[in-house]
Amino acid sequence: MLAGDMLYYYDPVSVNLKLNMAHGADIRIMLSGLTALLGIWFYLLGLGQVYFAFRPAPALVRNTVLASFAAILTAYGVIHGNYMAIAVSSKLALQYHLDMEAATALASNSNLLIRYFVYPPFAVLSLVFIFQVWKQKTLYPQWIILFFPLIPFLINLFVGRYFTGSTFIIVEGGFYNLILIAFFVASTIALWDSKQTAVKTK
């Protein structure tokens, strides 16, 4: 999914994301759309370790975390695929000398509408996940909370504006997938010690 973000956005010079999509080769747009499907399949597989980490928690809690996380990740795929409409609209605007913002408005508003439906499951997931981990009701150590997507999301609200150039494109263009990479790497490290998880499970 991060690779798909960069196929949409990356340009070594320009930081105008829509203009970069407009200038991007058709094959880049097509391949980026494909990553929406492949990326979500693998994200959903990754939830297996989250489910494993919540084994000590009550079934209702475990299933709530799994369902909420799955809803969010599925929305990631739909939103990423929806960007194909924004990319195509941008390319047409550039080709026919149309106003870029007006040409992409419908696709952008559609994308924004989908995002609104992500907030409720994200709120539920954040409350349940952070509370359960903090109370040590799971196999996760408490430090995993620092890598839970809510925390970097809040941090980016304050520091994201300071990125420039290629760093801006990578961080802003691929932000949601970067925070998921960070979370799943941290989750893998946290669950790697089989002796520790075995003791906690007992």
What is the per-residue pLDDT for 138? 95
The rounded Cα 179 to chain-centroid distance in angstroms is 7
The boundaries of the domain holding residue 99 are 2-201
Closest CA relative to residue 136, chosen from 145, 146, 125, 126: 145
Q: Write out residues in the chain with pLDDT < 50, as ranges.
A: 194-195, 198-199, 202
pLDDT for the residue numbered 196: 54
Number of compact structural domains in the chain: 1
Question: Would you state the pLDDT for residue 160?
Answer: 66
Provide the whole-model pTM. Answer: 0.87
* Positions of E strands within the chain: none
Residues 6+ apart with CB under 8 A from 130: 145, 148, 150
Question: Among candidates 173, 125, 170, which has minimal Cα distance to 151?
Answer: 125
Which pair of structure tokens corresponds to residue 147?
């890598």
The reported pLDDT for the residue numbered 154 is: 87
What residues contact 168, with CB distance under 8 A and at least 6 apart?
15
State the pLDDT at residue 131.
97
Do residues 61 and 132 touch, judged by C-beta distance below 8 A? Answer: yes
pLDDT for residue 12: 85
Tens of pLDDT, residue by residue over 67-86, are 999 999 999 999 999 999 99
